[in-house]
Chain A
Amino acid sequence: MKKTDDRFDLPQGTLDLLIMRVVALGPIHGYAIAQRIQQISRDALQVQQGSLYPALHRLEYKKLLNSRWKPSETGREAKFYELTSKGRTHLKAETENWTRLTDVVSLILEGTLEGI
Chain B
Amino acid sequence: MGWLQRLFFRERLEADLDKELSFHFELQVADKVRSGIPESEARRLTRIEFGGIEQIKEDCRERRGTMWLESLLQDVRYALRQLRKAPGFTLTAVLTLALGIGTTTAIFTLVQQMMLQSLPVSRPDQLWRIGDQPHCCNWAGYSQDSDDEPSDWNLFPWEAYKLFRANTPGFQDLAALHAGSLSLAVRRAGPLGPPDTVNGQYVSGNFFETLGVSAWRGRLLIDDDDQEGAPPVAVMSFQCSQVIRIPSALSKVSLTQMD
Contact = CB atoms under 8 A, between A and B. Distances in A.
Contacts of A61: 1, 63-64, 67
Contact of A53 (B20, B26, B67): B20
B51 A76 contact: no
Interface string A38-78: 00000000001110011001100110000001001010111
A112 to B, nearest CB: 45
Interface residues of A, number: 20
Interface residues of B, number: 24
Interface in A20-45: 29-31, 34
A69 B21 CA distance: 13
Given A31-B27, A31-B28, A72-B23, A50 B51 contact: yes
Interface string B8-41: 0000000011011101101110100000000000
B24 A49 contact: yes
A30 B23 CA distance: 9
B contacts with A: majority SS: helix
B24 A77 contact: no
A79 interface: yes
B132 to A, nearest CB: 64
A53 B51 contact: no
A79 B23 contact: yes
B55 A50 contact: yes
Nearest to A62: B67
Contacts of B26: 74, 76
Interface string B53-95: 0011001101110010000000000000000000000000000
A56 to B, nearest CB: 8
B24 A76 contact: no
Contacts of A49: 21, 24, 49-51, 56
Given A50-B59, A53-B56, A78 B23 contact: yes
A82 B24 CA distance: 17
Contacts of A72: 23
A79 B16 contact: yes
Nearest to A58: B63
A34 B21 CA distance: 13
A69 B67 CA distance: 23
Top 8 A-B residue pairs of the complex, sorted by shortest distance between their CB atoms = A54-B59, A31-B27, A31-B24, A58-B63, A57-B60, A57-B63, A79-B20, A61-B67
